[in-house]
């Protein structure tokens, strides 16, 4: 099952994001290698700077999705003000379709 992980950064946390980015990218690459990542990328503010994330993951249950999201180095670094996880159905432009 797919889950959308919608994350909003804390205010003025860009430096935390940038400092933690290498570990976050490694985490996503590992998740992708294990077949658990559908796609991911940052939300951008009006100046084009990242201020949140959208990560769509494959997991058996919402509890598994929560555990994956909590293991993200960004989450461990305290980057996010809010994380919302929702079951998601990929209908249009799905690569396997």
> Per residue in 46-92, pLDDT tens?
999 999 999 999 999 999 999 999 999 999 999 999 999 999 999 99
Reply yes or no on whether the pLDDT at 14 is more than 90.
yes
Q: CA 54 to CA 39: how far, in whole Å?
A: 8
Pairing mode, strands 2-9 and 37-44: unpaired
Inter-residue contact 9 to 54 (CB < 8 Å)? no
- The overall average pLDDT reported for the chain is 96
Please give the CATH architecture assigned to the domain spanning 2-88: 2-Layer Sandwich (3.30)
Task: State the pLDDT at residue 83.
Answer: 98
Where are the chain's structural domains? 2-88
């Amino acid at each position: 099952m797919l889950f959308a992980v919608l994350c909003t950064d804390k205010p003025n946390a860009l430096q935390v994001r940038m400092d933690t980015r290498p570990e976050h990218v490694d985490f996503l690459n590992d998740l992708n290698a294990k077949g658990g990542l559908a796609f991911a990328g940052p939300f951008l503010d009006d100046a084009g700077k990242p201020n949140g994330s959208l990560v769509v993951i494959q997991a058996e249950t919402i509890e598994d999705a929560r555990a994956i999201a909590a293991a993200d180095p960004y989450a461990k670094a305290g980057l996010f003000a809010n994380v919302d996880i929702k079951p998601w159905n990929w209908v249009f432009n799905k690569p396997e379709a």
